Structure 1
Amino acid sequence: MRMPFGYAANQAFEKMSSYGIMLNMVLYFTRHYGMQAAKATNIILLWSAASYFTPVLAAFLADSYFGRFTIIAFGSFLTLLGMLLFWLTAIIPNLSPCDQLTMICNSPTTSQLAFLYFSLCLMAIGAGGVRASSLAFGVDQLNKKERDEGIIERYFNWSFALTGAAVLIGMTILVYIQENFGWIVGFGVPVVLMFISTLSFFLASSLYVKVEPKGNVISECARVVVASYKNRNLNLPSPNVSNDGGYYYDKDSEMLMPSDKLRFLNKACLIQNPQQDFTQDGRLKSQWSLCTIDQVEAFKSMIKIIPIWITGMIMSINFSQ
C-alpha cells in the first residue's frame, strides 16, 4: 500500500488549520474589525459555502484536465497563502480598523476589507483544491491487488477517522490557544501547521502515483445520454448472454459486459451495425452514437452518488442552523 506520510499529513493538517480558524472567526471579526455579529456571521457563511462549492469545480478540473496531484498541490499553496495573509491582519495594525490597546474601532476602510476578503477567497479556493480529490488521490496509491483485498474500505475508515481527529483538535486546542494567547499566536499556529502540510506533501511527491486526467468528464456523460437516447429502440440482449461483440469496449478494458443496474443506459454501448458505426480501419465514426462500456459504467457511478450528495447537503444545512 503506497500511502506516504506526506499525503496523510497534508490532509490532517489542512483540516486542523481550516477548522481552527473558522470556529472562532465571529469573535475575531467583532473584536478586531468592529463588525456587528450578523454581518460577521454572513461573511463566514458565504466563505464556508464557497469552501464547499469549490471542491466540485476543482474535482472537475482535476479529473478532466490537470490531474489530482496538480490540483491538490495548487490548493495547498493557495490555502497556505490565504492563511498567511489572514494572519497578517492580526499582526499589522494598518490592516485592522480597531486599536487593540484602547479597543476603539472605526469603520473598516475599503482596502482593509479588500485585503480580508482576498485572504478568505484564497483559502476557499485552496480548500477546494485540497479536498476535491483527497480520497480519490489516496485510492490511486493502491495497486490493483491491494484493491481486491478490500483495503479501500479500511483506507476510507482510517481517512475519516484521521480527519475527525484533526477537526476535533482544531476546534478545541487551537480555539483554546486563540482565546488565551491572542490572535497572533492563535492564527500563527494554523499557518505553521499548513506550512508543514504543504511541505510534507511536496517532499513526498516522488513517491506518489500520478494518474493522468481522462478528458472532459461532462462531455463523456453527455455522450452516454445522447447515445442511449439514439439507441432507445434497440433491444438489449439477455443479461445471461456473454458479450459476443454486441457491446463496444476498449481493448485494454477489464469490463466486457455492462452491469444490470440502470440497464436502459446500456443501449449507449450496444453496437447496432458494425458497418455503420465503425470505419474500415476499426475506428468509431461518431462518439455521440456509441460509447464504451467504461463510459457507461462511469456515468452510472455518478448517478448513484447523487442521493448521497443530496443527503450530505441536507446534513450540512442542519449543522449550519
Structure 2
Amino acid sequence: MANTNAQQQSHSELALAESQTTEDIDPKRGGWITFPFITVGVMGLTIASSGWVSNLIVYLIQEFNVKSVDAAQISSIVNGCNSLFPIAGAVVADSLFGCFSVITFSSVVSLLGIILLTLTATLHSLRPSEGETPSRLQLGVLYSALTLASIGLGGTRFTIATMGADQLAKAKDQGVFFNWYFFTLYMASIVSFTAIVYVQDSVGWGLGFGLCIATNAVGLAVFLAGKRYYRLVKPKGSPFISLARVLVATICKWKLVLVSSQTQSNRSSYYYAKTEVSKLPSSAPSSSFRFLNRAALQTEGDIRPDGSIAKPWRLCTVEQVEDFKTLLRLFPLWSSGIFLSTPIGVQISLTILQALTMDRHVGPHFQIPAGSFLVFSLLSTPIAISIADRFLPSTWIKLTGHSPTPLQRIGLGHVLNIMSMAGSALVESRRLHVVRSHHLEDQTVSSVVPMSALWLAVPLAIVGVGEAFHFPGQVSLYYQEFPVPLRSTATAMIALLIAIGFYMSTAVIDFVRKVTGWLPDNINQGRMDYVFWMLVVIGVGNFGYYLVCAMLYKYQNVGSDYENQEVQDEE
C-alpha cells in the first residue's frame, strides 16, 4: 500500500501547478534545467526512507528482541505516521513556508533520524543483548529515531512533487515530469526493497542503514545544488483553513434563523465573492446540508465598508460553503476506503511474519530477505497500471458500451482486495498443515517450515493489482469531483485514508490477540488463516456498503467527462 502514495498525488499536484497565476511565474528561473536536481533528490530520499521502513519488522525482532506480533504492530503505527505526516507537511508548505524550505528542513530531520537509527545498530549500549528486554533508554532512542525519520519523510513525500511541477509552466511538460517522477519513485523503492534489505540481512544492519544515510545525504546535497535554478512559488494558504472557517462560522451563527435562498431579496442576505456569482447555479446556496448556509449569512459587523470580510472566522462566501458541502457528499464513498486499506495493512505486517518461518531460498545459495517480499506488490502495481491504461478502456467499451468510470475502477479494486485476502488465508492454511505434519508447532519462529515462501507472492501480487485500480480510481474521482480550489486536497484524502487504514490494522490485530488465540507470539501455534478469513468477511461487507454509496452518489463533473471520452473512443 505504501508504494501507491506517490502515484496518488499526480492529479492533485498537477491541478495545483496549473492553478498558478502569471505573477507567480519567474521566466528567469525554473524549466527543465531543474529536472536532474529534483529527480536525484527524489531518488536519494526515497531509497533512504524505504530502506529503513521496508525491513523494520525484522530489525525489531532480531536486534531489539521484540515479539513478532508486537513488531508488526509497531511497523503498522510507523507506516501510519508515514502516511499521516505528509498531510501536515503539505499544509505547512502551502500556508507558511513554501515547498523548498519544507523539503530542506524535512530532509535534514530525516537524515538525523536515520543516523540515530544507525547508532542503535552499531553501538551495543543502544540495543539489548540476545534474549534480554530492551531498556527504557534503548527504546527511547529507537522511538526517537523512528519519529525523526517519519517526520522527515512526511515533509518531502508530497511537497517535492509539487515543487517539481512548479518549475514547468505548460501542462504537457508537467505531465511528462510526473511520468518520470513516478518512474523514479518506483525504481528507488524497488532498490530499497531488494538491495538495501539484502545488505541489512546478509552483511549487517549498520552498513544497511549507513547506505540509507549516504543516499539521503546525496539526495539532499543535489537538491540544494539546484537552488539557484528553482522557481520558488510563494505560499497561497491552505485550503484546509477555509474548510475550518466554514465549520467555525456555522457554529458561531448556530442560533440564527435561516432565510430562503429562492428569492432575489433573500439571496442578498448571503455573502458572495466578487467573481463567484456567475459560477454558482442560480447564484444561491443549495438546499442540501442547509444548516451550513449560516456560515455565509451576513450579520451586522461582518462586512467592512469596502465590501471585504471583517471577521473571516464568522463569515464565509457561498462558494466556500458549497465546497464544504461537496466534501460531505463524497465522505461516504471515502469512508468505504478505510476498510479497503485496513486489510492491506494487516496483510503487509503478517506476511513478513509468515516469510520468516518459510523457506526463502531461490537456488542453493540465495535467500530472499523476508522484508523484500513486499516488492511483489510493489512491482505488480505499476505493471497493472500500464496494462490497464492500455487495454482496459477498449475492452470495457466493447463489453458495456462506455468507458470505465472511477467508481467502477474502485469497485474492481474492492473485488481484487477480497480475492487477495482469501489467497493469503489459503496459503496460511497450507503452511499450518505443513507445520503440523512435520510437528513444528513447538519450534521457534526462526525454524524453517519446509514450504516455499514464494507462495506468498501470489496474494501480494493480487493486492498490488487491486491497488492499481482502487487507489488511482479514488484519486481520479476526487480530482474531478472536488471543487477547483480544493483539488490539491485529493491526495491528502488518500494519504489520510492510508494512515487510518494502518492504524485500524493495528487495532484489528490487537483486538484479535485479546479476544482470540489466533495470533500468539509463535505463529506456528496460532490460526493466522482465521484472521485472513475474517478480513474476507469484513471486505465483503464493506464492498456491499461501497455499492450502496456508489449507487446513491450522483456525479457532478465525471459524467460529462466520460461521455466526451466515449465519443472520442468511437471516433
TM range (shorter): 0.7 to 0.9
Aligned to 2:344: 319
* Runs of 5+ unmatched residues, structure 1: 99-103, 238-245
* Runs of 5+ unmatched residues, structure 2: 1-30, 265-270, 347-571
Structure-2 separation of matches of 1:297 and 1:72: 33
Q: Check 1:185–1:306 CA distance in 2 against 1; reply closer, same or farther (3 A cut).
A: farther
Residues 103-162 of structure 1, C-alpha deviation per residue, up to 9 Å, x if partnerless?
x3422111111111100010111111111323322222222xx12xx3333333332222
% identity of equivalent residues? 27
Question: Are 1:123 and 2:130 counterparts?
Answer: no
**C-alpha RMSD of matched pairs (Å):** 3.8
- Three-state SS of the structure 2 residue aligned to 1:215 is coil
* Structure with more relative contact order (C-alpha pairs < 8 Å, separation 6 or more): 1
**1:71-150 correspondence runs (5 A):** 71-98=102-129, 104-143=130-169, 146-147=170-171, 150=172
Structure-2 separation of matches of 1:135 and 1:185: 29
Q: TM-score, normalised by structure 1?
A: 0.76
Aligned to 2:77: 46
Q: Check 1:312–1:190 CA distance in 2 against 1; reply closer, same or farther (3 A cut).
A: farther
Residues 235-280 of structure 1, C-alpha deviation per residue, up to 9 Å, x if partnerless?
499xxxxxxxx96247xxxx884366x9739x899999xxx98654
Aligned to 2:261: 234
Q: Check 1:249–1:74 CA distance in 2 against 1; reply closer, same or farther (3 A cut).
A: farther
Aligned to 1:205: 227
**1:226-265 correspondence runs (5 A):** 226=249, 233-235=260-262, 248-249=273-274, 257-258=278-279, 264=286
Q: Check 1:270–1:43 CA distance in 2 against 1; reply closer, same or farther (3 A cut).
A: closer
Number of residue-to-residue matches in the alignment: 298
Structure-1 separation of matches of 2:155 and 2:184: 19
**1:170-185 correspondence runs (5 A):** 170-185=192-207
Structure-2 separation of matches of 1:315 and 1:188: 36
Aligned to 1:155: 177
- Which amino acid in structure 1 is aligned with residue 48 of structure 2? S
**1:19-58 correspondence runs (5 A):** 19-58=50-89
- Which amino acid in structure 1 is aligned with residue 63 of structure 2? H
Question: Are 1:13 and 2:64 counterparts?
Answer: no
Structure-2 separation of matches of 1:304 and 1:161: 34
- Which amino acid in structure 2 is aligned with residue 201 of structure 1? F
Q: Is the 8 A contact 2:285 2:318 kept in 1?
A: no
- Which amino acid in structure 2 is aligned with residue 234 of structure 1? S
Aligned to 2:495: none
- Three-state SS of the structure 2 residue aligned to 1:71 is helix
Q: Is the 8 A contact 1:13 1:193 kept in 2?
A: yes
Structure-2 separation of matches of 1:210 and 1:300: 33
Residues 16-44 of structure 1, C-alpha deviation per residue, up to 9 Å, x if partnerless?
22222222222222221222212222221
- Which amino acid in structure 1 is aligned with residue 138 of structure 2? Q
Aligned to 1:101: none
Q: Is the 8 A contact 1:223 1:291 kept in 2?
A: no
Q: Is the 8 A contact 1:4 1:204 kept in 2?
A: no
- Three-state SS of the structure 2 residue aligned to 1:77 is helix
- Three-state SS of the structure 2 residue aligned to 1:4 is helix
Q: TM-score, normalised by structure 2?
A: 0.45
Structure-2 separation of matches of 1:76 and 1:97: 29
- Three-state SS of the structure 2 residue aligned to 1:172 is helix
Aligned to 1:241: none
Please, which of 184, 194, 204 is the counterpart of residue 216 of structure 2?
194
Structure-2 separation of matches of 1:290 and 1:173: 53
Structure-2 separation of matches of 1:277 and 1:320: 47
Structure-1 separation of matches of 2:263 and 2:161: 36
Q: Check 1:61–1:303 CA distance in 2 against 1; reply closer, same or farther (3 A cut).
A: farther
